[in-house]
Amino acid sequence: MTDNKALPKISVIIVTLNVADTLQACLDSIYAQLYPNIEIVVMDAVSTDGTVDILKANDDKITLWRSEKDGGIYDAMNKALDYTTGEWVYFLGADDVLFADYSKLAYQLSDANTIYYANVLLRDKKYRGKVTSYQHAKGTICHQAMIYPKHVFDKYRFNTKYRLSADHVLNMQCWKDKSIHFKYVDLIIANFNHTGASSKPDKVFIADQAGLIRENHGFIPWLRFVIRQYRNRKKVIPESYN
CATH of the domain at 61: 3.90.550.10
β-partners of residue 88 are 10, 149
Per-residue pLDDT of the chain (242 residues; tens, 9 = 90+): 444 668 999 999 999 999 999 999 999 999 999 999 999 999 999 999 999 999 999 999 999 999 999 999 999 999 999 999 999 999 999 999 999 999 999 999 999 999 999 999 999 999 999 999 999 999 999 999 999 999 999 999 999 999 999 999 999 999 999 999 999 999 999 999 978 666 678 999 999 999 999 999 999 999 999 999 988 887 654 443 33
Coil vs helix vs strand at 59: coil
The domain total for the chain is 1
The whole-number pLDDT of residue 6 equals 85
Domain hosting residue 75, numbered range: 10-199
Does the residue 106 lie in any domain? yes
Does the residue 117 lie in any domain? yes
Does the residue 158 lie in any domain? yes
Rg from Cα positions in the chain: 19
State which amino acid sits at residue 54: I
Q: Which of 75, 65, 52 has the alpha carbon at shortest distance from 14?
A: 65
Does the residue 161 lie in any domain? yes
State which amino acid sits at residue 122: L
Binning the chain into helix, strand and coil, the percentages to the nearest 5 are 40, 20, 40
Does the residue 1 lie in any domain? no
Alpha-carbon distances, residue 56 vs 24, 51, 81, 122, 144 (angstroms): 11, 9, 21, 30, 25
State which amino acid sits at residue 12: V
Does the residue 211 lie in any domain? no
**Residue 166 burial class via C-beta count within 10 angstroms: exposed 0-12, middle 13-18, buried 19 and up:** buried
Does the residue 222 lie in any domain? no
Total residue length of the chain: 242
The whole-number pLDDT of residue 240 equals 39
Structural contact between residues 188 and 97, judged by C-beta atoms closer than 8 angstroms: no
Structural contact between residues 184 and 118, judged by C-beta atoms closer than 8 angstroms: yes
Does the residue 5 lie in any domain? no
